[in-house]
Amino acid sequence: MLTGNTVVVKPAPTSPLNAMLLGEILHGILPPGVVNIVGDDGSLGPRLSSHPDVGKVSFTGSTAAGRQVMASGAPTLKRIVLELGGNDAAIVLDDADVESAAQGIFTWAFMNSGQVCINIKRIYVPDALYDRFCDAFAKLARSAVVGHGLDEKTEYGPIQNRRQYEAVLRSLDVARRDGTVIAGGEPAEGKGWFVPPTVVRDIDEASPLVREETFGPIRSILRYSSIDDAVRRANDTQYGLGGSVWGKDIERATRIAARLESGTTWVNTHFALAPDIPFGGRKQSGLGVEFGLDGIHEFTDRHVIHVARGG
Give tens-digit pLDDT for 99-132.
999 999 999 999 999 999 999 999 999 999 999 9
Structural domain including 119 reads 88-267
Q: Give the number of other CB atoms < 10 A from CB of residue 211.
A: 16
For 149-154, what is the mean pLDDT? 93
Residue 97 lies in a domain: yes
Is residue 100 located within the same domain as residue 70?
A: no
Is residue 75 located within the same domain as residue 148?
A: no
Global pTM? 0.94
Distance, CA of 158 to chain centre: 17
Is residue 114 located within the same domain as residue 254?
A: yes
Is residue 149 located within the same domain as residue 286?
A: no
Residue 309 lies in a domain: no
Is residue 51 located within the same domain as residue 127?
A: no
Which residues participate in catalysis according to the annotation?
A: 83, 117
pLDDT at 190: 87
Q: Are strands 56-60 and 79-83 parallel, antiparallel or unpaired?
A: parallel
Is residue 176 located within the same domain as residue 164?
A: yes
Is residue 196 located within the same domain as residue 126?
A: yes
Mean pLDDT score of the chain = 96
d(CA 168, CA 171): 5
Is residue 117 located within the same domain as residue 252?
A: yes
When divided into structural domains, the chain yields a total of 2
